[in-house]
Structure 1
């Protein structure tokens, strides 16, 4: 049975940009995911893991502003300029040509975007570094 977790409202996803959130994979690793607008048969919103296929340590959405840079219906890698189609994830140019972003299963229903990917568990909005779980409960790090 697929667990559905509401991660955002459709209105939270910018028309030219992305919405960033963090998930945990079955193996325990955390990954970032971006939601982007897509206006074709794939649905109004698509979800992709937040890294370029040319260099997996290169984030597409760096967690600032409206998220990933978008151009002509595609997500732009900020390092090399490769453009991934926001609906299919496929890149036909630049250093990432011939590759496809890693898809994350989501559903859109009643104005909400739901994570439905069996291999992932929703953690929090924003990037991995935005997780406050590892922060001390006090601003003082002194002990006596």
Structure 2
């Protein structure tokens, strides 16, 4: 069972975990032992509260398929147990990140003095550049 918060818990039977062979270099260990973990979690079929499901499905994350299934592949460690823990913690972080409420931005206006400083600096810069020009003798 995976505890997301004090009230939200995901039972083990809702998380599908399978061991697969890892990719990349590693010699005999990679070739013989299935150490990588492939985790699948169906959002709609889960016991998560509706607001969690809604926000997870709205997330624009490559780990969430069109069907609403979270797919996580963990193969960082050489041990199957560590990869399993890593996959579960990544699932937990993904669900937690969906529930973070972003602070609404209050639109602000630049102060009058800051606008005046900006215009003054532009005028000064313009003056410096105009002084570099060639002087016509007419």
**TM-score, L = length of structure 1:** 0.25
Which one has more relative contact order, counting CA pairs under 8 Å at least 6 apart?
1
- Which has the larger share of strand? 1
